[in-house]
Amino acid sequence: MKVTETIRCRGHPNVLSRHPTTFEITKDGHLTCKGDCIIAVGAEKGAADLSPEFRNALARDDANLRTRLTCGNISVVIISRGSADFTLDHPSDMVWRRSRHVCGRTVGIQSDRTARTLPRELIGCLKNGGELLVEMIVTTGGDAGEPP
């Protein structure tokens, strides 16, 4: 099974992208410098707004998540895992984590990128208020051992 979601959001002058274990997008419109994991604001969706089909596919232990972040002409792909423990019920936030920690905001665990390791060119585009396109593809079933 393969299911996709696309989310638009935007950068903010206070994007620092320094967090060593996570990165986050939020529906909130404002960002303080304390939010060093937040890379974009004004997201069209939070975890609770993802389609039921996508949520069901992602909330499986055999789910693989491929997320492409694009700002301007700069793109990066992040590979993560899903989990049957996901609740995906946070109304405004989505968080990708290097760890296996799960809460209502978590959309990806064991991610191969964090805020700190995202390309600085991408972060520069976001600091200038650029639009961020977040393309998420979850695969399950027969593709469980292979990243999407």
pLDDT of residue 144 exceeding 60, the answer is no
Q: How confident is the model at residue 6 (pLDDT cuts 50, 70, 90)?
A: very high
Distance CA 71, CA 63 (A): 26
User: In the prediction, which pLDDT does 33 show?
Assistant: 86
User: 40 by DSSP, 3-state: which?
Assistant: strand
Tokens of 13: 């002058």
- pTM over 0.85? The answer is yes
Residue range 2-142, CATH number: 2.60.120.630
What is each CA distance from 109 to 33, 34, 82, 96, in whole angstroms? 24, 23, 6, 6
Distance CA 18, CA 65 (A): 23
User: In the prediction, which pLDDT does 145 show?
Assistant: 46
User: 58 by DSSP, 3-state: which?
Assistant: helix
Nearest to residue 134, comparing CAs of 77, 83, 82? 77
